[in-house]
Structure 1
Amino acid sequence: MTKYKVLLVDDHKLFRKGLRMLIETLDRFEVIGEASTGNEFLGLLGHLSPDVVMLDIAMPEMDGIEAAKRSLAKYPDLKIITLSMFGEQDYYFKMVDAGVRGFLLKNSDVTEVRMALETVVEGGNYFSHELLMNLVNSLKNSPEELTPDSPLSDREKEIILLICKGLSTQEIADNLCLSKRTVDSHRANILAKTNCRNTASLVIYAIRQKLAEL
């Protein structure tokens, strides 16, 4: 069985070692490299071809936000899962804008790590439920108000709900008995109507507009 390749980026060696050991228990994944800084990570991308990068937000020299921006500018198809701790909500929106595919808490167990990796490699987006609840609480005090009339159709709202559940385009198509091409078209229209750059920012939009409950 061909395994998906994972690159770990975190400045704490002990954490990387623990995460590596956890991932090595998964049949479908293998760790092909580690980096302790953003610069080291960018250097490794020159000769490694990871399917997924697990990237810490807070690192010396170059933080995860800048590392994500630079890596995705050069490798736009790269799938990045952000590693986060509670209390780092201020970084979430910036990481979303950078184009990451998911958020995972550093204290996640093997079941959630597996779910995050499998969801992302299959084309979906993964957001730790605990982390999203933390984010939702922080948004309660946001000055941004709800739009009085949603620009989305009922079908588009239905698709947003499935996106928020982490389903891939193909899974959404199967769930709604639509073609993948039709779902792709709906998704493009949704992003245009909501002024969202990517799926991750769309999830946050759905939370703010109360289109999805967590």
Structure 2
Amino acid sequence: MSFGTYARRARDEGLPPARRHRALRSAVSEYCPLGFHATWAYLAVTARPSPDLRRDPAALLRALDALEASRAVRTAGAAAFAARRRVEKAAGLRTPAGEPFHRPWRPHWPCETAPSRLGLVAAVADGHRTFRRLPHPDPALVPEDRAQDLAELHGRLDACGTAYLTALGRPDDPVREELADTLAGIGRQLAPGYAPLDLPLLRWLRFAELLAYAASAPAAPAAVGA
């Protein structure tokens, strides 16, 4: 089923709360610009003052409103980019000019103003917990000369996540610089094509990209972010 179908079910006051809650989760599975769990964490916090989406129908609707508004911005951006590319191609321009449309596989919260700072903090906190639970790469897959580099990158990314959360989403420039360097370091460890070691590293990279986006996003202040 489509995002619209799930959204309509989540809004249907004639359905049991549990079914509306499942419909919202299904809608998030269809549109999750930060990743499913991070998007859910973002919505739960921005649905304040009650983030319990299962038991509070009003909070559930606030979360759905935020999700639909973000999706509308993403859809409008994609349509505008497609229209611009048609004009550019007709003029013989094979390379897009101007601002590129955001790549949908990168964590990003499309919105008309700025994303919620507390929402991003919640998303990063969820991603950080998951990152810390991830098993380290199988030693059998890690060449001896790379093991120390990977351990260092893991520790640096963990420290960057902790620093971001400690600062409640307002990291200073040294933290941002360290994060950018760590993100680039993870990228350099990925092998061209497919390699068994890439799978755990891609999960590190996903969290690093979410953290980098949250650390650089011009987030709205807490009082405006709901």
Query: Which has the larger share of strand?
Result: 1
Q: Could you say which structure has the greater relative contact order, defined with CA pairs below 8 angstroms and 6 or more residues apart? A: 2
- Please report the TM-score for the alignment, with normalisation by the length of structure 2: 0.32
Query: Which has the larger share of helix?
Result: 2
Greater C-alpha Rg: 2
- Please report the TM-score for the alignment, with normalisation by the length of structure 1: 0.33
